[in-house]
Amino acid sequence: MKKRNLDPSKKIKRNNQGFSLIELLVSIVVLAIIAVPLMNNFFNAMKMNREAEAIQKRSNLAANIMEGLKSLNMEETLKQFNSSSVAAPFSIIEGIDVNGNSIAADDVMRLQLNTGVYSEYPVSTEEEKKDTYYFGINGVKEDGKDYDVLITMDALPYKDMVSSGGSLMNDYPMPDIINLDEKTNGMLFSDIWINENTGALKISSGVDFNNLDQVALSSLGEDYAYEKWYSTIYQDYLNEQTQWQIDYQNAVINKAVVLPAKPTEPVFNPSNYSTYFDINSLIPLITKTMKIVVNKYIIDSKNYTELSYKINYQCNLSGIEKNLDYDIAQTKYTIALDNIYLFYKPSIYQSDVLNRDNIKIDNISSDPSPINFYVSEQEDGLSIDPFITILRTSDLDKFTVFTDLTNIKQVINGIEIDNVKKHIVNATVKNRIYAITIQVYEYMVGGLENKYQARDELFTLKSTREE
């Protein structure tokens, strides 16, 4: 085995000449190869940060506008965008004043859309109610950057329309009064729609739903037609059937060669009785009665109220009496209910003082306490004040009746009394909820027609606002 030389006097030779030029160039090339991707990542990160910052600015601007819109009703919103008569600072965007230097009054305006082109809306003295509104804010600043903003407020998605597939929110008749609370007040409606296939009920019209008054009219007409058919043609058939049985037995006993033919059972065909479906003939004979029963009681020191609501249709034609009953609502409240509101829309059966709709109310509580019963319009501006009779079983039921209608009378056990009190409450169908779309664009100098035509938005924010 060879031994290592440990003699320190014998030094090992070392190369002290340093890096060669080739080695240095190779190192630079390697460093460049590594640095270029790193620099690209660095620049991309800077670009992404700038884009994120820009998106944040646009988002803040859109959110600021959205919050401002939600704080106002439609009337107040329209005033904000009436550039011809700005009565107050532009408060939709916090810190912006149309009377100041931040934004000019003519840069805040209501728009109209015709054949794909936006133009300024001619504001009139009396504001026209619409389903869709457009507003423009031109050159608004957000953190030192100028933007153009287009606002669309659309009520159509919340209407009961086949084309929109929307909900019923803007078609639902609701009372114009702020103190109505469905948890503490009973709210009923006279205009009911029914799905004949499923029996489902709802307040407003819609796909596959028919008005209950029309359904009742058709049903009663068919019942009368059937009764007429049964009492004539089918009864004749039954008599023929009885006689045939006698003749057949006699023929068998006498061993007759030819037996009597059995009569053919007739089939009911409603089309043969079209007169019984004549609206003009049946309507005056039908009475619609809305039956409301209230029962208040106490269990274990807790108050409860049961409210039952049914609609009855009664008709008498040619001595044949028919009744149709529909259970509309059976509601239980964990309170002592004091107020009941019936929002009324005239039925097809009432027309004059002799042909009235009836409202029958009954308080069957063991110890009746006072109940306020309100009858109000279910829709705006009835062309004819409806004729109604309120039927009560006793003046001890402690009902106090209020109404804003004129042709209404109150009867207790057949005796008319005059103590209906006036009030101002009505239910209207109007746009209460809007879909809001806020589109943010780069600022563009030029006329209004150039602002929003065929431009790509930088940011879009969508939400809803309820009146």
**Sequential DSSP letters for 193-226:** EE-TTT--EESS--TT-EEHHHHHHHHHHHHHHH
Two structure tokens written together for 84:
């011809």
Do 340 and 373 form a contact (C-beta atoms < 8 A)? yes
Kindly indicate the confidence band of residue 383, based on its pLDDT and cuts at 50, 70 and 90: low
Q: Report the first-to-last Cα separation within the chain, whole angstroms.
A: 102
Mean pLDDT of 342-347: 86
H or E, element range at 40? helix 21-70
Mean pLDDT, the chain, integer: 78
Distance CA 109, CA 446 (A): 15
Distance CA 426, CA 342 (A): 10
Task: Give 261-299 as a DSSP string.
Answer: PPPPPP---GGGGGGGG-HHHHGGGEEEEEEEEEEEEEE
pLDDT of 327-338, one tens digit each? 998 989 888 888
Q: What local confidence, expressed as pLDDT, does residue 376 receive?
A: 81
Q: Tell me the domain boundaries of the chain.
A: 61-160+432-466, 173-216+278-428
Kindly indicate the confidence band of residue 5, based on its pLDDT and cuts at 50, 70 and 90: low
Distances (CA, A) of 394 to 292, 364, 387, 407, 421: 14, 11, 22, 22, 18
Residue 27 phi, psi dihedral angles, 5° rounding: -65, -40
DSSP 332: E
Two structure tokens written together for 318:
């040619």
pTM: 0.54
98: pLDDT strictly greater than 50: no
Point out the least confidently predicted range of 75-79, 285-289, 421-425. Answer: 421-425
Kindly indicate the confidence band of residue 428, based on its pLDDT and cuts at 50, 70 and 90: low
Do 188 and 343 form a contact (C-beta atoms < 8 A)? yes
99: pLDDT strictly greater than 50: no
DSSP, collapsed to helix, strand or coil, labels residue 80 as: helix
Residue 411 phi, psi dihedral angles, 5° rounding: -125, 130
DSSP, collapsed to helix, strand or coil, labels residue 126 as: coil
Kindly indicate the confidence band of residue 275, based on its pLDDT and cuts at 50, 70 and 90: confident
DSSP E strands in 334-458: the ranges are 339-344, 357-363, 371-377, 388-392, 399-403, 408-412, 415-417, 421-422, 427-428, 433-442
pLDDT of 79-97, one tens digit each? 888 755 544 567 787 655 4
Distance CA 251, CA 237 (A): 20
Q: What local confidence, expressed as pLDDT, does residue 126 receive?
A: 53
Q: What local confidence, expressed as pLDDT, does residue 446 receive?
A: 67
